[in-house]
Structure 1
Amino acid sequence: MRTPLSRRTMLKRTLGAGAALAFAPLAPTGSPSAEVHTRPIPSTGEPLPCVGLGTWRQFDVGTSSEAREPLKEVLRQLVALGGSVIDSSPMYGRAERVVGALSAELGLTDEIFGATKVWTRGREKGMEQMERSMTRMNQRPMDLMQVHNLVDWETHLDTLQDWKAQGKVRYVGVTHYTLGAFDDLAHIIQSRNIDFVQLPYSIQTRRAEERLLPLAAENEVGVIVNGPFEGGSLFGRVEGIPLPDWTSSFDCESWAQFFLKYILGHEAVTCVIPGTSDPDHLQDNVRAGYGRLPDSDTRSRMRTALQDL
């Protein structure tokens, strides 16, 4: 039985032996851009780097240096490469604490755009949880507080609008990870004053393109994308397959960048947050925000190429 290739092995084979460990400090090879792209937050115009970091599972670790050193390097490189968005949740075990502790150790607390969530029911419990999350992440004010998976969303959005007016949070949003919640997300985008919606979107799962992405753009709501790699299954689809030569036309160096650049090619997307605990993968991911992005015709070609595998 053939042993499946890891993403690390695929990355090395795509870029050449050892290249996965020897990225240029700022820009990908041949890229006309030496900085990561930013997108304006629609409600304010504040620029936000278009590739960030998710922390589900990977940052739920203990206090040992063996567990935390790779994560510290992930955070360091995220900021060094121009990124800033780090998304977490009290649902993610120890992730908030780890992000807060490591960013403080690195002196990067002020360089991070911190995003977390409220995931409980009731006004008082919600306020207690959000206060605790801000303390854990060393973020006051919190850059972005989101209602996780729409749990008691009406109650928490009322609280968050008050907190935003008081300056306790800078931005307010809602999240979900399933397609079945899209109607509810659409309703909230149209009926409530929110700054961000977080939703699942990938080159394989494109339902967001039909309604939610246009709706967010129309209502000046930023979009944060989760699940860009379909839990890693997209890498299984391209195992052993070389990256097409024509992807150099949009400065694509790896399959991870192929999947992320497809998402970023949609102008309604503000930021995508692939999760990783691997510094090499972090570099690869952030570099998807460098250089040229695919236009609509190229994105169609990308869809066809994946379907034909």
Structure 2
Amino acid sequence: MNYRKLGKTGFNVSEISLGTWQVGGKWGEPFSHTNADQILNQAVDAGINFIDTADVYGDGESEKAVGRLLRSRQERIYVATKCGRRLRPHTNETYQPDVLRKFVEDSLRNMELETLDLIQLHCPPTDVYYRPEIFELFDRLKEEGKIQHLGVSVEKVEEALKAIEFPNVTTVQIIFNMFRQRPAELFFTEAKRRDIGVIVRVPLASGLLTGTYSPTTEFSPTDHRNFNREGAAFDKGETFSGVEYETGLAAVEELRSIYPDVQNLAPDALRWILTFDAVSCIIPGASKPSHLASNLKALKQPAPSHQQMAAVKQIYDERIKNPVHYLW
């Protein structure tokens, strides 16, 4: 495993880390603690030392599984969780310091911890980034010993740039992959200048970039890749990175010419992300151990050549950029 510094947190975290949205089962399926325990322990066995979770994953069950892992292992494992998505409705007005404080305390109870390594606002509405009182709350929580660091998970580059103006924001979690390249422009430059840790989520565009999907692939009715393609439940950028499914499939076919004779494109797609030195770590998810094994293969992939990087950029510019780039 290779490690990088997570910005001004000072944490040295595994380049390939683990996101736990679906660690207890595929999207929409009941949470399985047996499955979660297996994946989490195999991740740590492989050298992963950074795990991202949230209070809404499995309605708190993901946090409980992560807490159980921490109690059963001797390794130093950094845990990031998130708060805010439990709000109903999820609006600027419902974001209030006292409610967010309760969410943080609930996460501490779920994981049986006294202090959270990193708490992240969970993709709040854009207006929240213009409210200093929300960010000031986390200074108080740090003084009380309940958190070590504050980060944000964002939908838009605009939100990331606004968030890092607050001095107590240490990390930004953002969607970045071959089909979502805008963060590599101004945001990465500013993140490096301000020593912000960059956590990359949705690195495989909800599985599109594995190259294993086809026009006949069926997704469960409870899977967001089925019901959220137009943003019916949450920001559609979380589903296939906002790329229209058929457009994504066509782009993947072009990627195959760049990576010939590769059945599973995931390791190369993850390795492409790691070529950007602003990135601290990637948090691909896994609903089974084989997904984790596939993700870890990225560490053994050669860096893409200049020709491959240029070819990926050309596919993005020609097929993806116009409908996606300017929305997020």
TM-score range, shorter chain: 0.7 to 0.9
User: Separation in 1 of the partners of 2:304 and 2:10?
Assistant: 23
- Structure 1 residue runs without a partner (length 5+): 1-35, 248-252
Equivalent position of 1:171 in the other structure: 149
Amino acid at match of 1:274: P
Amino acid at match of 1:205: R
Equivalent position of 1:271 in the other structure: 281
Contact 2:97 2:133 in 1 (8 A): yes
Shift of 1:205: 1.0
Matches within 5 A, 1:1-309: 36-59=1-24, 67-92=32-57, 93-100=59-66, 102-103=68-69, 107-108=72-73, 111-119=76-84, 120=87, 121-150=95-124, 152=128, 154-176=132-154, 178=155, 181-234=156-209, 235=211, 236=213, 237=249, 238=252, 244=259, 254-290=264-300, 292-294=302-304, 298-304=308-314
User: Separation in 2 of the partners of 1:241 and 1:182?
Assistant: 29
Shift of 1:188: 1.8
Amino acid at match of 1:146: Q
User: Separation in 1 of the partners of 2:40 and 2:105?
Assistant: 23
Amino acid at match of 1:185: A
3-state SS of paired residue (1:190): coil
TM-score with structure 1 length normalisation? 0.74
3-state SS of paired residue (1:202): coil
Shift of 1:245: 6.0
User: Separation in 2 of the partners of 1:111 and 1:62?
Assistant: 29
User: Separation in 2 of the partners of 1:140 and 1:294?
Assistant: 43
Amino acid at match of 2:175: P
Amino acid at match of 1:94: G
Shift of 1:142: 0.7
User: Separation in 2 of the partners of 1:162 and 1:44?
Assistant: 17
Shift of 1:140: 2.8
Structure 1 residues 123 and 307, CA, compared in 2 at 3 Å: closer, same or farther?
closer
User: Separation in 2 of the partners of 1:278 and 1:210?
Assistant: 34
Contact 1:74 1:279 in 2 (8 A): yes
Shift of 1:147: 0.8
Shift of 1:68: 2.8
CA RMSD of aligned residues (A): 3.1
Structure 1 residues 187 and 307, CA, compared in 2 at 3 Å: closer, same or farther?
closer
Moved more, 154-163 or 238-247: 238-247
Contact 2:267 2:294 in 1 (8 A): yes
- Structure 2 residue runs without a partner (length 5+): 88-94, 214-248, 320-328
Shift of 1:58: 4.0
Shift of 1:275: 1.1
Which has the bigger relative contact order, CA under 8 A and spacing at least 6? Answer: 1
Any runs of at least 4 consecutive aligned residues in structure 1 with deviations exceeding 6 A, and if so which?
Answer: 305-309
Shift of 1:98: 4.0
Percent identity of the aligned residues? 24
3-state SS of paired residue (1:124): helix
Shift of 1:300: 2.6
Shift of 1:233: 1.9
Amino acid at match of 1:115: A
